[in-house]
Structure 1
Amino acid sequence: MQEKILNTATEMFLQYGFKSVTMDDIAEKLGISKKTIYAHYSTKNKLVQAAGSHLLQSISEGINKVRSRNLNPVIENFEIKRFVNQHLKGEKTSPHFQLKKYYPKIFNKLIEEQFNVLENCVEDNISRGIELGYYRKQIHIPFVCRIHFVGMMGIKDKEMFPLEEFSEGDLTEEFLNYHLRAICTEKGIKTLEEFKATS
């Protein structure tokens, strides 16, 4: 039952937002009493924390599957983006914004965990890209990893990038183009342009 509660809560938080969904909503969706949820998660905060960690774990596993395909490093960025976009819903409710605003301690802990996942992924991608000649040799890898992370987090800021003007999918695409053109060699840019022309 605990796993069922966690999966349903995560799905609802993504669809409607962390603040908007109540314990009553989750209980109603599952057809159980609120008391049953509290037997597994004594507060909504604990359920939000568990849902955030669960989501991050699922995304991390999916990213690792993409990485295990040993794709061209340039294209791998877009495949990871595609996977993440398919598994993160709620663009209109902005669960990221709600988590940051209403659950700042949980948000900060998850951001730290997320950085650890992304840093490992980006470091590996850049190292392979340099080795294969797609990325410039002079790249300062720790700096680029952090710039990549800050950029990906920054485009989720709905005050800076309001939904009326920018869709989340377009923002991620634009950011990846910006990021890759900064680190690619001519060979990498050629791959990027060919991929974009056919996707």
Structure 2
Amino acid sequence: MQTPTPHLTLKEKQRQERENLILQTAEEVLEEKGYYETSMDEIATRVGIAKGTIYTHFPSKEELVATIFARDMQKFLQGFDAILEAELTPRVRLENIMSYLHEGLYGRRAKLLSSTYTGVDLKRLVNEKNGSIREMWECLISKVSKLLDEGKAVGEFRTDVSTRVMLFMMLSLFSPRAHDHVLLEHDLTPDELLQQLKILCFYGMTQNQPE
């Protein structure tokens, strides 16, 4: 039985709409100026409200950014689950996950939030809002492992290589630091790199497979 949506009063609706507008505007300022140059004063000016009003929603800039971070993580997880639940073969779903991870690595906001996610207070606030980042990552790994096992069961993936090793190889290929190193030193676009990583992941480095 579906839980009924709680009825909001006009005042509650207005508060929710104002909070969404603050978050949207804060995201725009963050993308333009970066975390350290973003001020609550400018966000308030762009929204058209007093700075004190922002503080009734978010006690600090760290709290505001942590809310944006947590919200983006939820969107990421929802997209990840949508790929896993699609009625496609394990192979196609795994390719789609690789593309999804790649887009996440190179998105402007992802890079901004990643560079911002360094302070102890911000990490604590994000964890409080969204649960431990480590727990989230372990959950994702578990889901990919199940997808690999599903692919083995239907004959799409090799059974002579352990799922854990497959997972390790895949995650290593999609390490952001490794990507940056390759892109800086070689004339490749991020999309070209993605296609070559997929080739390595599914076909390996040799022309001929062993007997």
Q: TM-score, normalised by structure 1?
A: 0.67
Q: Does the 8 Å contact 1:6/1:47 carry over to 2?
A: yes
Q: Which structure's relative contact order is higher, taking Cα pairs within 8 Å and 6+ residues apart?
A: 1
The 1:40/1:88 distance shift into structure 2, 3 A limit, reads farther
Give deviations 1:32-59, integer Å, cap 9, x for gaps. Answer: 3332222222222222222112111101
Give deviations 1:147-181, integer Å, cap 9, x for gaps. Answer: 43344233476466439955444444433333333
Q: Does the 8 Å contact 2:19/2:57 carry over to 1?
A: yes
Could you tell me which runs of 5 or more consecutive residues in structure 2 were left unpaired when the two chains were aligned. Answer: 1-17
Confirm whether residue 162 of structure 1 aligns to residue 180 of structure 2.
no
**1:112 is matched by which residue type in structure 2?**
R
Match of 2:164 in 1: 142
Cα RMSD (Å): 3.8
Confirm whether residue 75 of structure 1 aligns to residue 92 of structure 2.
yes
Q: Does the 8 Å contact 2:145/2:167 carry over to 1?
A: yes
Match of 2:108 in 1: 90
Question: Distance in 1 between the 2:38 and 2:186 partners?
Answer: 24
Deviation at 1:146, TM superposition (A): 4.1
Question: Distance in 2 between the 1:157 and 1:87 partners?
Answer: 9
Deviation at 1:114, TM superposition (A): 4.6
Query: Structure 1 residues 48-57 or 102-111, which shifts more?
Result: 102-111
Query: Structure 1 residues 154-163 or 47-56, which shifts more?
Result: 154-163
Give deviations 1:81-135, integer Å, cap 9, x for gaps. Answer: 45563897317x93255225x5366299675255234313311221121112111
**2:203 is matched by which residue type in structure 1?**
R
Out of 16, 19, 36, the residue aligned to residue 2 of structure 1 is 19
Match of 1:119 in 2: 141
The 1:144/1:16 distance shift into structure 2, 3 A limit, reads farther
Number of equivalences: 181
Q: Does the 8 Å contact 1:10/1:55 carry over to 2?
A: no
Corresponding residue SS for 1:162: helix
Match of 2:67 in 1: 50
Q: TM-score, normalised by structure 2?
A: 0.64
Match of 2:10 in 1: none
The 1:82/1:148 distance shift into structure 2, 3 A limit, reads closer
Match of 1:197 in 2: none
Confirm whether residue 181 of structure 1 aligns to residue 199 of structure 2.
no
The aligned runs of 1:98-113 (5 Å cut-off) are: 98-100=115-117, 102-103=118-119, 106=123, 111-113=133-135
Could you tell me which runs of 5 or more consecutive residues in structure 1 were left unpaired when the two chains were aligned. Answer: 187-199
Larger Rg: 2
The 1:161/1:88 distance shift into structure 2, 3 A limit, reads closer
The aligned runs of 1:36-47 (5 Å cut-off) are: 36-47=53-64
Question: Distance in 2 between the 1:143 and 1:49 partners?
Answer: 34
Question: Distance in 2 between the 1:38 and 1:90 partners?
Answer: 27
Percentage identity across aligned positions? Answer: 18
